[in-house]
Structure 1
Amino acid sequence: MSAQSEPGLLYSEEEEALRAAVRDLLTDHCDPAGVIARTESAAPHDVSLWKALCGQMGLAGLLIPEELGGQGAGHREVAVVLEELGRAVAPVPYLTSAVVATEALLGCGADDLLRDLASATTIAVLAVGLHTAPGRDIDRVRCEKGALRGELTGIADAAVADVLLVPADDGGLYAVRAAEVTVTPQVSLDLTRPLARVTLDGVTGRRLGDTEAAVRRALRAGAGLLASEQLGLADWLLTETVRYLKERRQFNRQVGGFQALKHRLARLWLEVAGLRAAARNAADALATGEDTDVAVAVAQAYAGQVAVHAAEEALQLHAGIGMTWEHPVHLYLKRAKADSIAYGTAGTHREALAALVDLQAP
């Protein structure tokens, strides 16, 4: 794309076409009733949807170079996909496998595993707690004469992974087949992104490279692009709430016509618009490598509170129906709450941002 046609933080025609294709697929294969039903089952992940997204559309390989079987796209395109997945609260391991694990593998140069991910024949998960922020200390297993032993908790989507990328105390990042470890489900607020405890008891893994740089790269990308998922959540909640209030009548008046509610929706619209700018800036910074740490910290310092506020407002403004299990707003509230601590809380990212811009506390 030439400099004259560069859209900046606006969406390009290609990105809008990608959005339309993903939204059409999700409309056909990821209805709210189906997602709710999955959360009540023993198999919350939608494997058929994953295959459609990644096998048919090739979305698992967006960040993977073409010579390794990927699409050779970038973080902006991935951000668009995550917006749509957020709008649908899709129960697929896209963020954990196609973004976080992929970035870790790119940092290690594990070409064979990247080819497997690009072909959608393998799901990989970085075995670092979902709550961990970029640059923070991580839990590691012991490496004793080449055998890995230990326990890691809060691992998102481990139940559906084929390969786990495990950090060890010798400084290495190891690829371990999921069939060789014990994965125990943990109670998770967000049932569409389940957590698990991973136990390794003398497993032999393949060392991919050094942990620190690969994990930092992976978590930074995860935090930055998580903001796009949170944008999708907030945008759906705002749109759905406005639609409902236009239809709902009380005292023989359209509920959306009450001034107090208009003010609440206007405030929420401004917050979502600000989140869109922050999320797009983070995706663009990840793609260009310019001021990436600052852009990611800004996005995550803001995104969580907006998504949670949007979910809380939707729940309240839907009144009684919003409190029912049949209405999907509870899925969005739980995802928004879980996302608000994923890859670091807002406070953690504000602290990181202060250090990055040399604005220390008094």
Structure 2
Amino acid sequence: MSDFSWSSDQQQFRQSVRRFFAAHSDEPAVRRAMATPEGHDPAVWAAMASQLGVQGLAVPEAYGGGGFTIAEAAIVHEEAGRVLLCGPLLASASLAAPALAHIGGEAAERYLPDIASGACIATLALNEPAGTWSARSTTTTARPIGAGRYALTGIKAYVLDGALADLLLVAARTDEGPGLFAVAADANGLVRTPQQTLDPTRRLARIELRDCPGTLLAAAGEAEASIAAALMTGAIALAAEQVGGSERALELSVDHAKLREQFGRPIGAFQAIRHRLADLYLAVETARSVATHAALVAARGGDATALAHLARSACSRAYRDVSEAMIQVHGATGFTWEHVSQLYYKRARCDAELLGSPDEHRMALAAAVGL
């Protein structure tokens, strides 16, 4: 029987990552970062690369990365979710990098080393105003202008760190089908507008392309496969983040229930709260099991597509329920801007819609298992 648990080396790596984030992404640091125009601290981003190498952790060694797997990357994302890390880790390391690694060849050689070192922030521009995370549904067009160059026209919506990225991987339709194109941040005809969302700890942008020059990285068929690989990796990484956020929100709720007293007793002694927290613990552990299983199956070369959809559905629900309960357990304090509960709640609500809603993942899961 296969062992789907973390190894001792992976557990030690987790402790190193947790110590790093505790020192660099505590609540005051999160609040400072989310108030900046960039939405993150570039010094922390650089330290993540130099001290932990997390931006290139799962990038093949041939392209300047650590040569590890999505399993180790999931550990980083889980710990990042615990502390509400502000930064383009999901966009650059777990969406753009896997797409390029799947393409391989000249595209990977050109872009992955800088992404792995943290020098280049990249993102995947796929979603459009209609809200579908699918290459086949893209309405952005690509018109050939010679020698692998195309003029792209269209709109992308809710692009992770789209206003910050140095490199955008844009899905657009050619006469042969959807393709994937590299667009530089300073390209003519590229208009990037930050989009205000509920979650201030994660930045999204609207991308408008007006005959914007782009370089073809993958043509029809290959592009769809690389985007699918990126979305699966991103789903597993995001599920891990949701587990981390759920776990930390539950810890804070339990700690408060032990200390806050009413009628001379800690509120955690009352059945209504005690039973609610026990139910949430079960939900978090279930979500953790599914997310861990998905990461380890993918890391071992198995088909984790169905598991990724299952993880996103389970983890979205667990994070939503725990973050809502966190506010209720903290009472009037939990409803204030000054309390961290509102940040976990907002992250939970927005994460649920990233890379596909829970309903979309359940439908995709049903299709994947033949229902």
Q: How does 1:105-116 map to 2 (within 5 A)?
A: 105-109=100-104, 110-116=108-114
User: 1:159 aligned to 2:163?
Assistant: yes
Structure 2 alignment gaps of length 5 or more: none
Q: How many equivalent pairs are there?
A: 354
Q: Aligned letter for 1:156?
A: L
Which deviates the most, 287-296 or 35-44? 35-44
State the Cα distance separating 1:274 from its structure 2 match: 0.2
Q: Which residue of 2 aligns with 1:197?
A: 206
Q: Deviations over 1:285-339 (max 9, x none)?
A: 2212323111112112211111000000001101111111111111111111011
**Secondary structure class of the residue paired with 1:78:** helix
Offset at residue 134 of structure 1 (A): 6.0
What value does the CA root-mean-square deviation take over the aligned residues?
1.8
Superposition TM-score, scaled by structure 1 size: 0.93
Matched residue SS, 2:186: helix
Once residues 168 and 228 of structure 2 are traced to their aligned partners in structure 1, the CA distance between those partners, rounded to angstroms, is 17
1:186 corresponds, among 171, 184, 195, to: 195
* 2:61 counterpart (59, 66, 71): 66
Match of 1:92, SS?
A: coil
Aligned to 1:174: 181
Q: Which of residues 38, 45, 50 is equivalent to 1:43?
A: 38
1:150 CA drift (Å): 2.2
Counterpart-to-counterpart distance in 1, 2:271 and 2:348: 27
1:163 shift after superposition = 0.4
Aligned residue identity for 2:48: L
User: What code does the residue aligned with 1:159 have?
Assistant: A
Q: Which residue of structure 2 aligns with residue 298 of structure 1?
A: 310
Q: 2:242 aligns with which of 217, 230, 239?
A: 230
Q: TM-score, normalised by structure 2?
A: 0.91
Q: Map of 1:207-356 to 2, 5 A cutoff?
A: 207-210=216-219, 211-356=223-368
Asked if residue 16 in structure 1 is aligned to residue 19 in structure 2, the reply is no
Regions of 4+ moved over 4 Å:
130-136
Asked if the contact 2:283/2:318 (under 8 Å) is kept, the reply is yes
**Partner SS, residue 173 of structure 2:** coil
State which drifts further: 80-89 or 338-347.
Answer: 338-347
Partner Cα distance (2:69, 2:278) in 1: 33
Any idea what SS the aligned residue of 2:163 has? helix
Deviates more, 1:24-33 or 1:96-105: 24-33
Q: Please tell me the residue identity of whatever aligns with 2:75.
A: V
Task: Render the CA deviation track for 1:19-42: whole Å, top value 9, x for unaligned.
Answer: 111111111111112212333343
Does the residue aligned with 2:58 lie in a helix, a strand or coil? Answer: coil
Output the CA distance in 1 between the equivalents of 2:281 and 2:22.
24
User: In structure 1, what is the Cα distance between the partners aligned to 2:269 and 2:159?
Assistant: 45
Structure 2 CA distance, aligned partners of 1:258 and 1:299? Answer: 32
Whole-Å Cα distance in 2 between the matches of residues 263 and 304 of structure 1?
21
Q: 1:284 to 1:139 in 2, by over 3 A?
A: farther
Structure 2 distance, partners of 1:68, 1:224, is: 22
Structure 1 unaligned regions, length at least 5: none
Residue of structure 2 in register with 1:120 after alignment: 118
